[in-house]
Amino acid sequence: MARLAYVNGRFVRHADAAIHIEDRGYQFADGVYEVVTVLGGGFVDEAGHLARLKHSLGELRISMPFSDAVLKLVMHELARRNGVRDGYLYLQITRGVAPRDFKFPKACKSAIVMTTRRQRFSPVVEEGAGIRVVTVLDIRWARRDIKSIGLLAQVLAKQAAADAGAFEAWMVDPDGFVTEGASSNAWIVTRDGVLVTRQADHSVLHGITGNSIERIAGELGIKVERRPFSVAEAHEAREAFVTSATTFCLPVTEIDGRAVANGYPGELSRTLRQHYFAYGLTRQEQAFAWPK
């Protein structure tokens, strides 16, 4: 059976999935997205992702195309039809189709697109499976808390990483502090065993997976500090890792060509990954309230 996509109310063959050229997502990046992991046939951190989706839409005054219940139904139905037990669902909502004009159109129906992809995940990080990271200047706009489809700066950062043989780019603010990865949140473990990741303000995307990792760390009795850390501090860290919906918690073993600690995936990173994996399978999601 051909893989399906969901486009504005219809399940269509992925190859035929199209939107009008005047969809504002195509002309203005006037839309937002989410990526939700499917693990063992269920969505991980679904409530968190939907809460962030609503935050992004609300900040842009784009309306939800339909209720939460219908949205979830369509998400689950697409994953089911595509036989995705492990993988992820990509969901994009734009302001809709209107004759090109910068300001919001008076009458415009939000457009919604969903796709899925199968992917196997493992709770275990193999020896030597840590990722390389390079640092680049963070040149993005000032509202990074909105998960918009305006991702060109991230595309360039990710390509700079690929050009250097690395998996991820850590973006650095003008003061030398890491904001986050091009498609993940950035974490370090200090010499004292404290987890450090940037506070959730407008300078970074509020990570849903990162939130869960923070909670799990707390349950394990590990201290978490929400503050900026510098590239220099990262070079001296005991461990480093990234978090995102599709990477879960992935150890960083090299930053700008320098090994992190002994150059092997850190123990804490691997422990957190295993716990997150187990949590992801439980569907025991905590009630999620988007912070004010």
Q: So which residues are the catalytic ones?
A: 147
Which residue number, 6 or 187, has a Cβ lying nearer to a second copy?
Answer: 6
Min separation Cβ 63 and a second copy, Å: 15
Taking Cα atoms as reference points, which of 64, 37, 59 lies closest to residue 48?
A: 37
Strand ranges, E, within 124-176: 131-137, 168-172
* Beta-strand pair 131-137/111-118: unpaired
* Beta-strand pair 87-94/168-172: unpaired
Min separation Cβ 223 and a second copy, Å: 32
Per the DSSP assignment, residues forming a β-bridge with 91 are 34, 114
Which residue number, 19 or 194, has a Cβ lying nearer to a second copy?
Answer: 19
Min separation Cβ 10 and a second copy, Å: 12
Place of tokens 């995307």: 205
Which residue number, 167 or 277, has a Cβ lying nearer to a second copy?
Answer: 167
Per the DSSP assignment, residues forming a β-bridge with 39 are 42
Which residue number, 33 or 241, has a Cβ lying nearer to a second copy?
Answer: 33
Measured CA to CA, the distance from residue 199 to residue 190 in angstroms comes to: 16
Residues forming the site for a second copy (CB under 8 A): 5, 7, 17-30, 33, 60-61, 90, 92, 99-100, 102-104, 113, 115, 117, 137, 139-143, 148-159, 161-162, 182-183
Min separation Cβ 87 and a second copy, Å: 13
CB 55 within 8 A of CB 290: yes
Per the DSSP assignment, residues forming a β-bridge with 172 are 137, 178
